[in-house]
Structure 1
Amino acid sequence: MPIADHLRELRARLAKAVGAIILATVVAGLFYKQLIGVVIAPLPGCASPTADSAGSCGLVAVNGLLSPFTLALKVSLTAGVLAASPVWLYQLWAFLAPGLHRHEKKYTVAFLATAIPLFLIGAAFAYAVLPTTARVLLSFTPDRTTNILPVDDFLDLATRMVLVFGASFELPLVLVMLNMTGLISARHMTGWWRPMTVGITAFSAIATPSTDPLSMLLLAGPITLLYLLACLVSWCADRHRRTRTEPECPDPAMAPDVPPPAAPGQGNR
């Protein structure tokens, strides 16, 4: 296909993807208050600044005159991108698929079918640990004080955690795909477990938006388990490939009868 046709197809695919995102964002904007309620649900908010003197909760607030409108746009757009993900992912796949070989298409379809659930599991896990993270961070609040929690700041924190956790859960899938293509073997992957554990811990400490060790451990633990699971899957795949390539061992019972060789010095009479 000429370059001009590629560009026209790319423009059409982008128009469909952006249109789906805009439509989903408009629909999400009709329910933005409910969506904001879901986002701030993990926050242990206090009804008043003196409701909890132990500092285990904070005063959830929206700062400024334009902040509610900006917050509504941000929540609606985030929900629209997530809701329209099947459409724009399909448009991306439809644009790239004609240039792939048959086996590459098979691997790509398997990759997408596994990557989306893993990302959603990571995002759900991040949302599940947000209340614990918020309580741990708020526990450092001094006595006789309260913590004012801007909703837009917490939304940024929750979005970053969801993206980081979701992207981190893709690590085992990348390793398995590299093993399927023959770039790395299960023996190398299992031999790397010590530096991989240290690297996962360091990555979790850097990638988590909050600075508490609890969030780091909550991210590093599942990734390490998924890495071990990827090693197991790769080991099974390597073993399956070896059994397909190695010749079958002949059965001694089925071997034909062959007379033993004549002893030295004896000839046929």
Structure 2
Amino acid sequence: MFVGQTSRRPARDPEGRMPLMDHLRELRTRMVKALIGLALGIGAGFVVFEPVWAFLQTPYCALPQSAQLDSDECRLIFTGVFDAFFLQFKVAVIVGILVSCPVWLWQIWQFVTPALQGRERWYSVAFMGAAIPLFTAGAALAYLISELALRVMFSFAPEGADALITITNYLSYMLTIMLVFGAAFVLPLFVVLLNLMGVLPHDLIAKWRRVVFFVAFAFSAIVTPADPLTMVVLGSSIIVLFEAAELVAYINDRRRAATTFDDVGDDEISPLPDDASAGELSGDDAAPPRNR
């Protein structure tokens, strides 16, 4: 390096363009930072395992069937040597993903945002801002109805049968319904996003309304455990949220239509564009010269 020469990183292209190798290096850097945040979150998950597991157990422990094995306390069993370890590991991973979501979401955003335009950035921010509370609301609803759903399922057991539920089976059940409800609550948000982008008009949404209702309950029957209450609640929630998304699409289409020539009366001629002025017409639109 010559004397007085300084090494500087090349300025980033304002449009987000860079060579392929630079893209790969940045992707590697973002992934490393996201994984470090996730690892720290998983470590915190091991620390708070006991209160988190007690929280997940609460719906089951409220049932009379939870007191088994000649004990009045809530009991869950395990049958495998590694079941107890995998239980803590799964809970720690879930807690780690939730705790570290600001870190890895920020890394994803920093990698993707240079390629987005102004309107696209606004759409992505609005989507994430609405998706997180919707997912949380769906998971919370699943947690709230889990006790009643377990009561319904246990009511089918014949007299004298004992419910010896394993810890892995119960954790899988709770995670399944919470993740499914959370994801299902986010699905109608895609309808709103596509409508805002002009891809999915309200007329098309209304046309396929009955099909959506059928698919909602079919989807609920497939992805939920064999529980009629959970299926009905999930299907009904999807329909309610879909109707809310359809209402937003209807209002957006009406607003979009109203902003076009909203100052022009029914008996008036629509104005020319701003860049068109009198005397600038050419070709077929130009008036022919008058013969004297």
Q: TM-score range by the shorter chain?
A: 0.7 to 0.9
Q: How does 1:155-234 map to 2 (within 5 A)?
A: 155-208=171-224, 210-234=225-249
Task: State the Cα distance separating 1:78 from its structure 2 match.
Answer: 0.9
1:30 and 2:47 aligned: yes
The change in CA–CA distance for 1:145 and 1:251 in structure 2 (over 3 A counts) is closer
Question: Which amino acid in structure 1 is aligned with residue 198 of structure 2?
Answer: G
Question: Which amino acid in structure 1 is aligned with residue 230 of structure 2?
Answer: S
- For residues 80-139 of structure 1, the C-alpha deviation after alignment (integer angstroms, 9 at most, x for no partner) is 111111211111111111111111111111111111111111111111111111111111
CA distance in 2, matches of 1:83, 1:63: 30
Conserved 8 A contact 2:139-2:179:
yes
- For residues 185-241 of structure 1, the C-alpha deviation after alignment (integer angstroms, 9 at most, x for no partner) is 112212221111111010110111x11211110100111000100111111100111
Task: State the Cα distance separating 1:247 from its structure 2 match.
Answer: 4.1
- For residues 4-39 of structure 1, the C-alpha deviation after alignment (integer angstroms, 9 at most, x for no partner) is 111111111111111111101111211212211111
Task: State the Cα distance separating 1:50 from its structure 2 match.
Answer: 6.3
1:83 and 2:103 aligned: no
**Larger RCO, structure (CA 8 Å, separation 6 or more):** 1
1:246 and 2:261 aligned: yes
CA distance in 2, matches of 1:119, 1:2: 37
- Return the TM-score normalized by structure 2: 0.80
Segments ≥4 residues shifted beyond 2 Å:
44-52, 62-66, 249-252
- For residues 140-162 of structure 1, the C-alpha deviation after alignment (integer angstroms, 9 at most, x for no partner) is 11111201011111111111111
Partner of residue 26, structure 2: 9
- Return the TM-score normalized by structure 1: 0.86
Amino-acid identity (%): 36
Question: Which amino acid in structure 2 is aligned with residue 47 of structure 1?
Answer: A
- For residues 24-83 of structure 1, the C-alpha deviation after alignment (integer angstroms, 9 at most, x for no partner) is 11112112122111111111253234689xxxxx95223333221221111111111111
The change in CA–CA distance for 1:251 and 1:135 in structure 2 (over 3 A counts) is closer
- For residues 166-195 of structure 1, the C-alpha deviation after alignment (integer angstroms, 9 at most, x for no partner) is 111112210011111111111221222111
CA distance in 2, matches of 1:113, 1:30: 29
The change in CA–CA distance for 1:241 and 1:251 in structure 2 (over 3 A counts) is closer
Question: Which amino acid in structure 2 is aligned with residue 48 of structure 1?
Answer: Q
1:21 and 2:3 aligned: no
CA distance in 2, matches of 1:135, 1:215: 12
CA distance in 2, matches of 1:186, 1:97: 29
Question: Which amino acid in structure 2 is aligned with residue 218 of structure 1?
Answer: V
Conserved 8 A contact 2:216-2:239:
yes
Show structure 2 runs of 5+ residues with no match.
1-17, 268-292
Q: 1:46 aligns with which of 51, 56, 66?
A: 66
Conserved 8 A contact 2:66-2:163:
no
Q: How does 1:38-187 map to 2 (within 5 A)?
A: 38-43=55-60, 44=63, 45-49=65-69, 59-187=75-203
RMSD (Å), alpha carbons: 2.0
Show structure 1 runs of 5+ residues with no match.
53-57, 253-269
Question: Which amino acid in structure 2 is aligned with residue 13 of structure 1?
Answer: R
The SS at the match of 2:144 is helix
CA distance in 2, matches of 1:7, 1:67: 39
CA distance in 1, matches of 2:47, 2:262: 64
Question: Which amino acid in structure 2 is aligned with residue 114 of structure 1?
Answer: A
Conserved 8 A contact 1:59-1:147:
no
Partner of residue 267, structure 1: none
Aligned residues: 247
